[in-house]
Amino acid sequence: PLSVKKVVDLGCGTGLLGELVANEMPWVEVSGVDLSQRMIDIAQERKSRRGRSVYASLSNADAAKYLSNLDENSIDSILASDVIIYVGDISKVLEESSKCLIDDGLIGFTAETIEGSEADGGVRLLPCGRFGHSRSYVNNVAKLAGFEVLSWDDCVIRQQANLDVIGASIILKKI
């Protein structure tokens, strides 16, 4: 963990995940990106328990576009909690992640999961308005983008209206 120096928090929202990283790994430079300027404004005010700003930089941008502007092999890890659910086809995000991550770099994200079928390609817009992704779809696009799946843990990714939302916590390693 001490070798991790730069982390990108995709879809950083109000900065909850960034705060966790800043508190547990204070030597890490965390950069956040979100589509919502309102979320960026809130994240800008978030402080670590040491009183420092959580984020070294914040950007109001699309995830794939933001990643495409980073230098190659410049990022140690990318985190995306409750973000992939708003992206249908994640291939562009993974392709751009692969370019900016160092060798053996990691991307960790959560996803709402579905049973895949050939008819929908493993991605489906759910009645809640978010996207579900099948395990086979994620495995396929990860491989095409130059990743191997290190971990796939089926879990409750959040609670909504007092109900568990089932999904997966996924970690990919750049190969």
Per-residue pLDDT of 29-75, as tens digits, reads 999 999 999 999 999 999 999 999 999 999 999 999 999 999 999 99
Q: Per-residue pLDDT averaged across 12-17, rounded?
A: 97
Predicted structure pTM score: 0.94
Alpha helices in the chain (DSSP H): 16-24, 37-45, 63-68, 91-100, 135-144
Confidence at 121, pLDDT banded by 50, 70, 90? confident
The share of the chain scoring above pLDDT 90, in percent, equals 93
The share of the chain scoring above pLDDT 70, in percent, equals 96
- Average model confidence (pLDDT) for the chain? 95
Say which amino acid occupies 150: L
Confidence at 115, pLDDT banded by 50, 70, 90? confident
pLDDT of residue 143: 98
**Residue in 9, 139, 141 with CA at minimum distance from that of residue 81:** 9
pLDDT of residue 83: 95
**Residue in 163, 158, 168, 171 with CA at minimum distance from that of residue 13:** 158
State how far the Cα of 101 lies from the Cα of 33, in Å rounded to an integer.
Answer: 16
